[in-house]
Structure 1
């Protein structure tokens, strides 16, 4: 099982010190490859239809030994979906995604839904300068004490419990669209979250 970094096209505000020192695989997804070089990271593979990557950046990645994973522009899947599939084939255990921010709300929500529907890994983190969005099967999460966090329901959540927070929840059902689990605060450096059924993401203020 490996740690994988995926850099996707769209604005990227993340800073280098928010990321790990090393990753087994680093994927530059089309124009997202340029952010890797700005963060002094070298892609091991570039993925996409290459309609948004600068040609010089593409040549640099090839020169640096990156594998090329090229797809037809008329494909019926997004570059992010393809990158996540490639990560799964590389036995990705923990996946970190950067980029994909910006003003195109359809792309922003599309990325969120794409990540939330991906089940072939233990944990996916979408990291920006201000927030980290976590999709995980874990129950214990290490975050900074007094950090603000939210649980965003992506479906109805059954028997949700939260411990270690300013507002704990014990075995409650949370309907889809509820704001009940937004804007909580961690009382320690570890919080416990468990649900019997349902899908959600954890959003932590950095």
Structure 2
């Protein structure tokens, strides 16, 4: 099952609409202000989640009488963010792939929380991506192969999501690494790499590895 979450951060409408058109999905979950994007562009979500403190008045009401749309109202004072609550809904729907749009913007604290959700999903065996017009971010918990023809943008960077990622080895990249000890206080050697071969290999001994594929404007 594939689910797309639409949050209330910055959304490049041309990119997001193209992404939604090209990616078939089983569920679309609009998160709080993300519902405004759906409303403007005629996208019907299957689920709506939020405390709706940042949603302009009148928008939610247009969906309330549709029995095919499930609405989960949250209290403003809560332990989970709106996006984390939406992730739990996606997990309850047995999603095995989750894409998050609208997760970047001016609030660095919200963006950091969204990056941590990638690790939360990965540790439960769920592949989750944070996507915007210039970045595709995911978390790796095991070695993987990247295909150059499927690369998102030109650059690939790696960061430790825990204390350390020992044994980081990169093959098929412009700047290869062998058994590099990556910590959350050092990333210079794992920043802005490029795939040279048709396939590139990322391997590591343990830990949680954040992978950012990006492009310039």
TM-score calculated relative to the size of structure 2: 0.84
From 180, 190, 203, the counterpart of 2:212: 203
Query: Which has the larger displacement, 168-177 or 76-85?
Result: 168-177
Report what 1:26 is aligned to.
28
1:144 aligns with 2:144: no
Inter-CA distance 59–128: structure 2 relative to 1 (3 Å threshold)? same
Structure 2 counterpart SS, 1:15: helix
The aligned counterpart of 2:193 is 184
Checking the alignment, whether the CA contact within 8 Å between 2:30 and 2:49 is kept in structure 1 is: yes
Unaligned runs of 5+ in 1: none
**Aligned partner (choices 125, 130, 134) of residue 129 of structure 2:** 125
Query: Shift of residue 29 of structure 1?
Result: 0.7
Do the aligned partners of residues 39 and 150 (structure 1) sit closer, same or farther apart at CA in structure 2, a change above 3 Å counting? farther
Q: CA deviation at 1:130?
A: 0.9
Give the Å deviation of 1:171: 2.6
The verdict on how the C-alpha distance between 1:122 and 1:161 changes in structure 2, with shifts beyond 3 A counting, is farther
Offset at residue 145 of structure 1 (A): 8.8
* TM-superposition CA deviations, 1:59-107 (whole Å, max 9, x none): 3333553111112111111111111111111111110001122222222
1:193 paired residue number: 202
Q: Distance in 2 between matches of 1:53 and 1:121?
A: 32
Number of residues paired by the alignment? 205
RMSD (Å) for aligned C-alpha atoms: 2.2
Runs of 5+ unmatched residues, structure 2 = none
TM-score, normalized by length of structure 1?
Answer: 0.88
